[in-house]
Structure 1
Amino acid sequence: MGKSQKKKSSRRHNPMRVPDSHLPKGLASASSSSSKTEAILPIIQKMSSTEAGERKWACVAVSNLIYNDPSTRRLLQGKNIVGELITRLSDSEDEVVVEAAGALRNLCIDGGYDICAEMYNKNILAPLQTFIPKISTTLSQFLESSKNAPENAQAIVYDFADNVVTILWCLSETSNKALNAVNQLALVPFLMSFLAARQKIPLPTVVSAAQCLYVLTDDNRPVIEDVRSNSSYLSCLHEVAKAHGISQDPKGKTPAAEERTMTLSLLACGILRNVSPIPPPSTISLVDLDKEVVLPTLLPVISSTSLHETSDAVQRLAQKQQPSTADKPSIKGNPGSDHKTPETIELERIEARLRAVQLALEILTGVCATLPDPDLSADEEATEEDDEAEDDDEGGMDDADDSMAVEDPAPVPNGTTDADKPAPSILPSILVPLLALIQPTPLSFPPLGAPSPHAPTTSALSAIHVAAFECLNNAFLALAARPSDVVAKDVDAGKKVWDEVWRALSAAGTQGGPGQDRRMQVWDVAVGVLWAAGIIWPGKLTLDEEHVKVLMQLCDSRADDTVRVKCIGTLESLARAPDAIDANRIISNYLLSLLPASSQPSPIGTEPMLQACSSLIDIYSDEECPYDVNFRSGNYVQRLTEAVEGVRRAVRGIDRKKEGGRELRRRGEEVRDNLVAFIKYRRGLKF
């Protein structure tokens, strides 16, 4: 089976809010597809005006024009709007600085990696780091004597703090270089001050601080140690995590207050998991975080949302939505009061709810991915170098004790383990909602060659499907790694999962092209669930010839070796259905076609080729199976013999110095030896 999901993943927790991959590249295409081309030049001109009011207007206009509009965002980016706005962060007028920060924040959220990378390369951190002590001082003054400060002045400072923190959060997810630079700012006391004063500070600002800290504690040791070593921080996070469902907005409920409160609790759960295991003497070290805090917070969130009902509601709202006055920036415009319609406000509330579900799934995936391995002490805190060495020392794809996502998908006390005393599985409680969340809706993926009716919803829905599949992937990898007679006998459950995954994939479709990246990502993760299910219930799942064809086509069309390996592993499980003689012949001939011949190398990568070889050995390891007739009549022994030298050459060609090369080399040597032994064994059989 495949490796666990313990390695660093992409840092982007929130993918691009308004995807633009469906748009052609280049400024000319952006200009032709944007309806606001004529508004761009006045904005650029006024950005450097001698009048502060015009500079402020230009910053506000950027925020308004890019709202859910990737074409205009691209067009502005091509006109160096990022550089212009960074310059305005050093403006002599505070109001201009505030609006520039707001525009940059919106560009980060809507634009994703590319714009964040551009901001980092243009040294946005230089002005940002000067704001942090100023914000801290002002907030301290407000908290000590809020009556002395006008309410509008407080609102401006809170909004400004929100914008600065959000930019720092997005930069932290851009690259390790940017993350290391943000680490140098020592942000933990600054961010924790917002959570500590959460009863007095507007909820959106507190949530942004929590989101930034969640990202910074993701596999980032300096920040993890800063949080882990401060008992007051841990206690505060524990309180926030357990306060789900309690509104903490000091100004009263806003339309999205419930969603923000939910998100804040989820983020606190995520931060606590990121910094675990928590060492004594902190009292939190005695708490079973997953059982007592994390799962009670996550499960209601992933169970409470019907994606199909949400999709229907969004479609109705999008049809009723009228062009906002925000599309026509006024010199009096203000990002905080841009005259949003009721439909727009409700769409934003729904989007916030969907992002909360996505976050819950992300944390739940971590619950499955980071439980201790059976041969490791749970309180052993290995360094990154130790982890890499551990990876090199592990066996191949079929090792039963491979470092799986989880060895038992059950909550384990924080900092403790008892391998001989299995805890109740969390799988039954999460399976039903996860199978519901993988099913696509009419808005889950953009139409071919066109944008979605509401791009933020489409982005959130597709991210939820991927995250739900990742949870299932980790859960079933766990079951496959640690076989259980009880699970193996529950074939009906296996068929249910198998059928629901295929139903979801059928609805997702295989359309490629611009804007369809997330559709393919769903397939990449889902095929891992199919492979794991095939290992748990080999030869017992519903065999559909169309599924066989689709898996072969997917294997042929994808360049990613990992996806190909999953496809081949899934085909192996289908080929082992005792009575499926025709399907077995089709699959085995396909797998044989992936092996090297006497003078020809394999048509696919080395790792998928090794998996195909291993799969053929496993399929025909029992000559008593009804489908073994295919092996004999097809003279597979000779075909495997012709592949031996090519397998040897491929194994010798594996570069041990490349990432994963050492492990792949070991895996290849094992498969090579097994192939030689298998051929010898089959030749020795008398029929």
Structure 2
Amino acid sequence: MGKSQKKRAMRRHNPMRVPDSHLPTGLASASTSSSKAEDILPILQKMEAVDAGDRKWACIAVSNLIQNDPSTRRLLQGKNVVGALITRLTDGEEEVVAEATGALRNLCIDGGYDLCAEMYNKNIMASIKEFLPKISTTLSQYLENPKSAPENVKTMVHAFADNVITILWCLSETSNKALSSINDLELIPFLMSFLASRASIPLSTVTSAAQCLYVLTDDNPPASRKVKGSPEYVEHLLSIAQSGVTQLNGKGKQAAEDPSTTLAILSVGILKNISPLPTSSLDIDKDLVVPLLVPVISSVSLPEAAALAAHHTLNPDTDVPMDKTPAAKGAPKDHKTPAELALDALEAKLRATHLALEILIGVCATLPDPSPQGAAEETAENDEDEDEAMMGDDDDEGAPPANEDEAEDEDEDIIEDGTTEEAQAAASALLPGMVQHLLALIHPTELSFPPFGGPSPCPPITVALSSIHVSAMQCLNNIFFSLAASNNSTLSQDRQSGRHLWEEVWRCLGSVGTTYGAGQERREEVWSNGVGVLWGLGMVWKGTLAGDEEKVQVLIQYCEATSDHTNRVKAIGTLECLAQHPTSISLNQTISLFLLTILQSLSAGPEPVIQAASAMIDIYSDEAQPYDVNFRQGKYLDKLLASFDNVKKAVRAFDRKTVEGRQVRKRGELVKENMLEFLKYRRDLRV
């Protein structure tokens, strides 16, 4: 509990571009809040028109209407625009089909999971499946004979391929059912053909293919095995990644702003997904990931990005020099103003930074995921009669229980199965150098979150900024859990650095604030990950970080307010570390009394109860500590004896039918057994 650094869940690598959770639900509210409600009906009518020009116009209009406008997107969705556009995918006119595909692609990106699920349920895959061989055949003809088609035709085919690939990318993250259907398409050769021909295909289309490959190879064995099993595919990916590293070394900040850097980042991400590579001796993290991604995340200044976005939003008619707008180089302008193109370029740079952070999250997690075999092992429950016997009078001298460090060692035996100490030490050596770069990315800017009660003045930039804050916090969380596990004595003795990092994270959380609500979900995510960072810092500098009453109360209030059991565990773990500062006797008492309230009731949830029990054992395993006076004077032994039944109930509450349930239950059994030994030991001390 609290030890697993990587939790697999279906997630958006490209989150909903313009969130709509701040809006009331229902068609009526969408009609009221949309300024374009009167345009909807004529568009839908023209989509069924006899004239192909009208149908094409209607598809284009959908893309234009939803631009940064979640209200209109909701209204269109309520009027079955998805079904109407899917119908147009079988239109007899190729231009109508192309524009319908583009509109669906934009809806995928802007609409998130629900809209993608609607597309899948309305059988968009039937049309997509028909498009793939046609795209492959047409592109092959053009690549073999570049002069065989007019430039405008090739441009249309490239854009069409880009749209189809992006739809597949978004659908693959919608559900396991959609992912299974996409796996059945045998898509890997199709996507790799774009990377292989990258010199002859527009960068945006190649990048979309790489993005789709990145998503498909993430914890998806059918796809990752296909890529890993082809030396040719691996060679293409290595070539792109290595050229990206060379480019960054040569140009620094300018290269980080180059759109081609995103392709290199994605290639590194794919290689990370399929590593270890069977045909290469490269250390992916040391030789590719860190040299490429750290310069990317260090090249961006979020305050400058927010200020630039605010300027262009407030001054949309400002003339922007086109040669300083990367998105304008060779990209379709779609009649956008220079300010709009500058905002697009800024968004692309921020999303590249977020993508780099997303890959680094895994690099920072040097603790591997629990093995299914180890997690699947059943732990026999102790017979309750035996528990009662152990709790009874016993004149045998009790042995000191394993303290929390030892309990963590037992837990790490589960987690680190198959990982050598040398491999973990090598990985941990890469981590401290990233910390300062990550700290610069956690602090919110004026555009990081939307104002309360309304949308952001520049929603895409706000989403990109908040995504960066969350991912940077996730990286820091993983780094400090990894460093805590590595027992780096040199680091833990640097108390000044520990205190600086502690205050820096608290400063960030103070700026984010504790007011959440509709539209403010990212604030809550920053806090969730931030408390994890505090716990990691507490473990690295355990006993040396002195808390204060205000921060302790904030953590207690957070633990009581959050409904997420994982967040409660993080807060309890952080409090546990603060309680072990030798001279903080008053704070130790405040924390221990709070932990006892959790143990005395099951309302906090089974995992927090187990964590609170583990914390009390760890805090009071050494009776020589100055704060042990609280244990004796507060009669904590009696209170812990009275709460032991709740600990047993908490252990039994975990579902043994699931892998996660068995894993957490095993951890709970260890804590329960340790608590028995602890109680015997403290009772026999008779102090």
Same fold judged by TM-score > 0.5? yes
8 A Cα contact 2:33 2:71, kept in partner: yes
Give the aligned partner of residue 425 of structure 1: 429
Q: Which residue matches 1:493?
A: 497
Q: CA deviation at 1:365?
A: 1.2
1:142 to partner: Cα distance? 1.2
Query: What pairs up with 1:122-521 in 2 under 5 angstroms?
Result: 122-244=122-244, 258-279=257-278, 282=279, 285-321=280-316, 337-369=333-365, 387-393=371-377, 398-400=407-409, 402=411, 418-419=422-423, 422=426, 425-521=429-525
C-alpha change, 1:258 and 1:198, in structure 2 (3 Å) is farther
* Bigger mean CA offset, 60-69 vs 618-627: 618-627
Check 1:263–1:631 CA distance in 2 against 1; reply closer, same or farther (3 A cut).
Answer: same
SS in 1 for 2:685: coil
Relative to 1, partners in 2 of residues 1:371 and 1:105: Cα closer, same or farther, differing over 3 Å? same
Report Cα offsets for 1:235-272 as digits up to 9, x if no partner.
1111111122789xxxxxxx999542010000000011
Distance (whole Å) between structure 2 residues aligned to residue 141 and residue 224 of structure 1: 29
How much has 1:342 moved relative to structure 2? 0.7
Partner Cα distance (1:467, 1:10) in 2: 16
Bigger CA drift: 302-311 or 639-648?
A: 639-648
Partner letter of residue 652 of structure 1? Answer: R
User: In structure 2, what is the Cα distance between the partners aligned to 1:484 and 1:181?
Assistant: 46
Range that drifts further, 488-497 or 91-100 = 488-497
Letter of the structure 1 residue corresponding to residue 615 of structure 2: S
- 1:564 aligns to 2:559 (yes or no): no
Change (3 A) 1:428 1:481: closer
Gap change, CA 1:640 and 1:454, over 3 Å in 2: same
How far did 1:511 drift?
Answer: 1.1
How far, CA to CA, are the matches of 2:217 and 2:298 in structure 1?
A: 27
CA–CA distance in structure 2, aligned partners of residues 421 and 296 of structure 1: 19
Identity rate of aligned residues, in percent?
Answer: 57
Distance change in 2, residues 1:200/1:406 (3 Å)? farther
Q: CA deviation at 1:544?
A: 2.3
Question: Are 2:663 and 1:663 equivalent residues in the alignment?
Answer: yes
Query: SS at the partner of 1:242?
Result: helix
The CA deviation at 1:479 is 1.3
Give yes or no for contact 2:366–2:482 (8 Å, CA) kept in 1: no
Match of 1:250 in 2: none
Partner Cα separation in structure 2 for residue 421 and residue 500 of structure 1? 26
Q: 2:70 & 2:413 partners in 1: Cα distance? A: 40
Larger mean CA deviation between 664-673 and 225-234 belongs to: 664-673
Taking a change above 3 Å as real, the CA distance of residues 420 and 172 of structure 1, as seen in their structure-2 partners, is closer
CA drift of 1:400 comes to 1.9
Change (3 A) 1:245 1:503: same
8 Å contact from structure 1 (residues 259, 352) kept in 2: no
Give the TM-score, by structure 1 length.
0.89
Letter in 2 for 1:353: K
Partner of 1:89: 89
Question: 1:286 aligns to what SS in structure 2?
Answer: coil
Q: 1:246 to 1:618 in 2, by over 3 A?
A: closer
C-alpha separation between the residues in 1 aligned to 2:665 and 2:112? 37
Distance 1:658 1:224 in 2: 25
**For structure 2, which runs of at least 5 residues remain unmatched after alignment?**
248-253, 319-330, 380-403
**What is the CA–CA distance in structure 2 between the aligned matches of 1:417 and 1:101, rounded to whole Å?**
51
CA distance in 2, matches of 1:555, 1:57: 53
Conserved 8 A contact 2:10-2:174: no
1:623 aligned partner: 623
User: Residue 607 of structure 2 contacts residue 650 of structure 2 at CA under 8 Å; is this kept in 1?
Assistant: no
Q: 2:678 maps to which residue?
A: 678
1:36 and 1:321, CA in 2 relative to 1: closer, same or farther beyond 3 A? same
1:635-680 CA deviation, whole Å, 9 max, x = no partner?
1112112112232233334332244222333322322232233223
State the distance in 1 between where 2:202 and 2:478 align: 37
Residues 420 and 298 (structure 1), Cα distance of their counterparts in 2 relative to 1, 3 Å cut? closer
Query: Taking structure 1 as reference, are residues 654 and 157 closer, same or farther at Cα in structure 2, changes over 3 Å only?
Result: closer
Aligned residue type for 1:304? S
Q: For residues 497 and 405 of structure 1, what CA distance do their matches in structure 2 show?
A: 30
Q: TM-score, normalised by structure 2?
A: 0.89
What secondary structure, in the 3-state scheme, does the structure 2 residue paired with 1:67 have?
Answer: coil
Q: Summarize the Cα distance change of 1:607–1:423 in structure 2 as closer, same or farther, 3 Å threshold.
A: closer
| Distance of aligned partners of 1:624 and 1:424 in 2 relative to their CA distance in 1, 3 Å threshold | closer
Change in Cα spacing, 1:16 to 1:160, as seen in structure 2 (3 Å) is: same
Q: Deviations over 1:272-304 (max 9, x none)?
A: 11111122xx3xx22222222221111110110
Q: What amino acid is aligned across from residue 82 of structure 2 in structure 1? A: V
Change (3 A) 1:630 1:34: same
- Secondary structure at the counterpart of residue 555 of structure 1: helix
Structure-2 change in CA distance of 1:654 and 1:160 (3 Å)? closer
SS of match in other structure, 1:627: helix
Deviation above 6 Å: which 4+ runs of structure 1? 394-397, 404-407
Do 1:211 and 1:267's aligned partners in 2 also have CA atoms closer than 8 Å?
yes
Instruction: Give the direction of change, closer, same or farther, for the CA distance of 1:40–1:233 in structure 2 (3 Å limit).
Output: same
Q: In structure 2, what residue type is equivalent to 1:263?
A: T
> What secondary structure, in the 3-state scheme, does the structure 2 residue paired with 1:467 have?
helix
CA RMSD in angstroms, aligned pairs only: 2.7
* Counterpart-to-counterpart distance in 2, 1:394 and 1:568: 27
Structure 1, unmatched stretches of 5+, are: 248-254, 324-334, 374-385, 408-414
Q: 1:529 maps to what in 2?
A: 533
Amino acid at match of 2:361: T
Distance 2:505 2:377 in 1: 33
- In the alignment, is the contact (CA less than 8 A) between 1:89 and 1:97 conserved in 2? yes
Tell me by how many angstroms 1:115 deviates.
0.7
| Structure 1, 256-265 or 159-168: larger mean CA deviation | 256-265
Q: Is the 8 A contact 1:6 1:370 kept in 2?
A: no
228-237 vs 288-297, which deviates more? 288-297
| TM-aligned CA deviation for residue 336 of structure 1 | 5.1
How far off its partner does 1:148 sit? Answer: 2.7
Q: Give the whole-Å Cα distance in 2 for the aligned partners of 1:485 and 1:68.
A: 50
Q: How many residues align?
A: 646
